[in-house]
Chain A
Amino acid sequence: MFPASRYSSKAHRCIRALQTVQVEHAAPQLYATLNTRRTCSSVSTPRITTHYTVHSRDKDSRWEGVEMERFADEADVVIVGGGPAGLSAAIRLKQLANEHEKELRVCLVEKASQIGAHTLSGACLEPSALTELIPDWKERGAPLNTPVTEDVFSILTEKHRIPVPILPGLPMVNHGNYIVRLGNFVRWLGEQAEELGVELYPGYAAAEVLFHEDGSVKGIATNDVGISKDGSPKDVFERGMELHAKVTLFGEGCHGHLAKQLYKQFNLRENCEPQTYAIGLKEVWAIDEKKWRPGRTEHSVGWPLNRHTYGGSFLYHLNEGEPLVALGFVVGLDYSNPYLSPFREFQRWKHHPFVAATLEGGTRIAYGARALNEGGFQSIPKLTFPGGLLIGCSPGFMNVPKIKGTHTAMKSGMLAAEAVFPKITAESLDSETTGLHAPEYAETLKNSWVWKELHAVRNIRPSFHNYFGLYGGMAYTGVFYWIFRGKEPWTLKHCGLDANQLKPAKDCTPIEYPKPDGKLSFDLLSSVALSGTNHEGDQPPHLTLKDDSVPVSRNLSIYDGPEQRFCPAGVYEYVPLETGEGMRLQINAQNCVHCKTCDIKDPSQNINWVVPEGGGGPAYNGM
């Protein structure tokens, strides 16, 4: 690689153009010769990871003389993430500021190009938190247009369906709830926030947490731009910007990458269980009007998953003019068979007679996927630390049997705002550290309905881990939740990290998935195209590997490369080496839909998802 200072800019551009050609057409062995790291195997691993979080720029000669100074700005509160939690916190802060006639600068950064573009959920919204936050939401035009009218629950077998009565008191009763397109709801929340004076900055990802001298959180820095695929600076390189705040709220959603760092930094997970997750894949279809039943919600468990793999489906009929249905499939990421592909299970499920009946004659108009929390009560970490706190699905307040997390996320955002407001507007900063510490947030959360709700359902998901699997879990729910309302004195445990649940490939049978028929089921790449995802091509892959040799030496050899199957966007591919012998991992970072499943499920925990240049990622519209 050539240091930027030694050549004229035109020569530099020529060199870079040639390098780009080299990168695209030459054998990866070229990298091996430049790769000075020793690997213990005799085959040199082609270099995959070029991101500066793995290969520091301090010792990189290509970065000599490059201006690394960042512009900094001050706000009272900085919020990372423009989802339901972040926006609710922002709105609540501004409401309090107006009530008490105080000036408050609230800045919110969001990695999606527009608010709502990275939001994906079923979704069946419980309006409790919304009514608390904005009581006149209906007059303000909140897009809650579809009240639930019918609730259907089934256990599916390969060809048949066993209806399960939804008795009042069971977690999946949806009376009073609304089927929403969460992306549109989040967009509307964004508009409410802007009206109140919140500064929203979509298209800017928070890439780094900043710290004061005393170790408390100072704020965040947005991503640098203009780094080329091999890690060197381009002509258009520019440093991100620093946003300093008295307190920073982290609402990155499920498995946030900054939250991952904060857990380590402040040891926030020492007294809770590791978080467990599921992946949710979703499509939106425009169906035949005759089959359209607006307000109908359908949930199923069973086929095509076996009783030991947690998961199920949802299908909601929206009422927004066009005959649209939102449908999807959730698979618990504690599955053990590395040959399982959540995407293909989803496609297969659509062929079930009960589901195909609704979809026949329809057109698929959207696709997407996202990981979601399943840990519930047992996995909630310590929520506050000097200078910041965690809100929403990032720490994880999802009510798993209800499959609802939006209302609790919103409430956590509101409580965070209420805990933080009096402290930041007080005459003097009442804090031992420069960054504000607000443990009151955790206290108020423990005394709120969020805690009660999560406590009541805490044993349902872990009850699944028994010989009878799904049926044991349902029996447990029936007895202990429906009858005893979750008041049993014990708390069941989860099984540990999802990444550790995979069995070696030699101990499992490959699953024969049917070929997509192009009418009901589809192939992966055309689905990814429908998500509208894209990233600037010439940037370091944001799926970083701590060790480039691990995928082939471990993931492929022991588990037959499960990342090829659990990634819902086809990012990971094992392709034969150009020289013939052996395979290499190819990372198609541009396809990434930011679901975070790879970071969660990688059995070697070698993949570290970091945020790419802001604005990249899926372009969901009302998902």
Chain B
Amino acid sequence: MSGRVLVGVKRVIDYAVKIRVKPDNSGVVTDGVKHSMNPFCEIAVEEAVKLKEKKFIKEVVAVSCGPQQAQETIRTALAMGADRGIHVEVTGKDYDTLGPLQVSKIFAALAKKEDAQLLILGKQAIDDDCNQTGQMTAALLDWPQGTFASEVSLEGDKIKVVREIDGGLETIKINTPAVLTADLRLNTPRYATLPNIMKKKIAQVKPADLGVDITSRLEVLRVDEPPQRLAGVTVETVDDLVAKLKESGTI
């Protein structure tokens, strides 16, 4: 086993920023808007670095797909303790239409190329909420998957994953190599500190180099703001409430 872990990190609009739809409804305004690493990706990086500190694995490689600015996100991962970074260059129109399917293909190709033992991703991105990349990548690689992980432990060449599911917690044991996706309670990410940022390297690669076709099968027709929530009506008594409900035809 190479002892190498690949961590996928995505650059998304910061969660505290107010989103604005472009005047032509083709998408959301991103120019100059504050971006940061997807919170679930931070948790994924933290888990990978923790595994390295416990000596279960030897190297953490951070990967991001996108334009030049994606390097900032990789640099944050390096500052958290990743050893090196890979920037998959996707720009312009290609970047606008980049979705989970293409990213999964890229990660699958990279996992094979880098001989990765483990691929850790965040469970979903906060901009598209897709929750698909981890699962699709596992399928393309034919690797087992431990998704919504809230606890991960390596036991020999198997991994025990505690998963957060609707009914509670599910514990599974899967073989390596595997894909894990991080859920909120997996860990508390550490800060990205300055000395680490100053030193490490980021390699650049294009999707074509990996033999991946990134044409999209989806076309975004329109983006709209959610409808404004109308003010409610306060009623004084229960009878009032019943009368209003009857009035509106609800009962």
Which residues of A are interface residues toward B (Cβ below 8 A)? Answer: 71, 73, 113-114, 116-117, 183-184, 187, 199, 201, 203-204, 222, 225-226, 234-236, 238, 240-241, 286, 322, 365, 529-530, 532-534, 613, 619, 621-622
Contact = CB atoms under 8 A, between A and B. Distances in A.
A532 B13 CA distance: 11
B239 to A, nearest CB: 31
A622 B32 contact: yes
Nearest to A109: B194
Given A529-B18, A532-B17, A532-B18, A187 B32 contact: yes
A241 B16 contact: no
Contact of B34 (A234, A529, A621): A621
Contact of B16 (A203, A322, A532): A532
Interface stretch (B56-64, B134-142, B185-193, B216-224): B185-193
B89 interface: no
Interface string B189-202: 11111110110000
Contact of B23 (A183, A204, A286): A286
Given A199-B198, A203-B192, A238-B193, 12 more contacts: A73-B198, A113-B14, A116-B32, A222-B194, A286-B23, A532-B17, A532-B18, A619-B16, A619-B33, A619-B34, A621-B31, A621-B34
A226 B191 contact: yes
B16 A533 contact: yes
Nearest to B190: A236
A289 to B, nearest CB: 10
Contacts of A73: 195, 198
Interface in B32-60: 32-36
B33 A241 contact: no
Contacts of B14: 113, 532, 534, 619
Interface-central residue, B16, B20, B189, by most chain A CB under 10 Å: B16
6 A-B pairs with the lowest CB-CB distances in the bound complex, closest first: A534-B16, A619-B34, A225-B191, A532-B17, A621-B32, A241-B194
Interface in B1-31: 14-18, 20, 23, 31
B34 A532 contact: yes
- Chain B interface category by residue count: 20 to 34
B196 to A, nearest CB: 9
Contacts of A238: 190-191, 193
Contacts of A226: 190-191
B197 to A, nearest CB: 7
Contacts of A235: 188
A184 B33 CA distance: 11
Q: Which of the listed residues A73, A236, A529, A533 has the most CB atoms from chain B within 10 Å of its own CB?
A: A236
Contacts of A234: 188
A319 to B, nearest CB: 16
A621 B16 contact: no
Interface of B: 14-18, 20, 23, 31-36, 188-195, 197-198
B22 to A, nearest CB: 9
A71 B194 CA distance: 9
Nearest to B79: A203
A619 B195 contact: no
Contacts of A529: 18
Contacts of A534: 14-16
A113 B34 contact: yes
A318 to B, nearest CB: 14
Contact of A236 (B31, B36, B191): B191
A228 to B, nearest CB: 11
A529 B33 CA distance: 14
Contacts of A622: 32
Contacts of B193: 225, 238, 241
A183 B34 contact: no
Contacts of B15: 534
A183 B32 contact: yes
A226 B31 CA distance: 31
Contact of B194 (A204, A365, A530): A204
B188 A621 contact: no
B206 to A, nearest CB: 23
14 contacts: A73-B195, A113-B14, A114-B34, A184-B32, A226-B191, A238-B190, A241-B195, A322-B23, A532-B14, A534-B15, A613-B191, A619-B34, A621-B32, A621-B33
A63 B12 CA distance: 36
Contacts of A203: 192
Given A365-B20, A533-B16, A71 B195 contact: yes
Between B18, B32, B35, B194, the greatest number of chain A beta carbons within 10 A of the residue's beta carbon is seen for B194
Contacts of A187: 32
Instruction: Name which of B23, B31, B188, B193 has the most chain A CB atoms within 10 A of its CB.
Output: B193
**Which one of A322, A529, A621 has the highest number of Cβ atoms from chain B below 10 Å of its Cβ?**
A621
A113 B197 contact: no
A322 B198 CA distance: 39
A394 to B, nearest CB: 22
A613 B16 CA distance: 16
A117 B34 contact: yes
Contacts of A199: 198
B188 A236 contact: yes
A493 to B, nearest CB: 42
A563 to B, nearest CB: 23
A60 B195 CA distance: 27
A298 B32 CA distance: 26
A532 B33 CA distance: 10
A113 B195 CA distance: 17
A235 B20 CA distance: 36
Contacts of B198: 73, 199
Contacts of A532: 14, 16-18, 34
Nearest to B33: A621
Contacts of B192: 203
Contacts of B197: 201
Nearest to B14: A619
Contacts of A225: 191, 193
Contacts of B31: 621
A286 B22 CA distance: 11
Nearest to B30: A621
A621 B23 CA distance: 17
Contacts of B35: 114
Contacts of A222: 194
A619 B23 contact: no
Contacts of A241: 193-195
A480 to B, nearest CB: 42
A236 B36 CA distance: 19
Nearest to A532: B17
Nearest to A618: B34
Q: B20, B23, B191 — which one has the most chain A CB atoms within 10 A of its CB?
A: B191
Contacts of B23: 286, 322
Contacts of A113: 14, 34, 36
Nearest to A234: B188
Nearest to A71: B195
B207 to A, nearest CB: 26
Nearest to B17: A532
A203 B194 CA distance: 9
Nearest to A13: B188
B194 A619 contact: no
Contacts of B189: 236
A199 B197 CA distance: 11
B188 to A, nearest CB: 6
Counting chain B CB atoms within 10 Å of each CB, which of A71, A613, A619 scores highest? A619
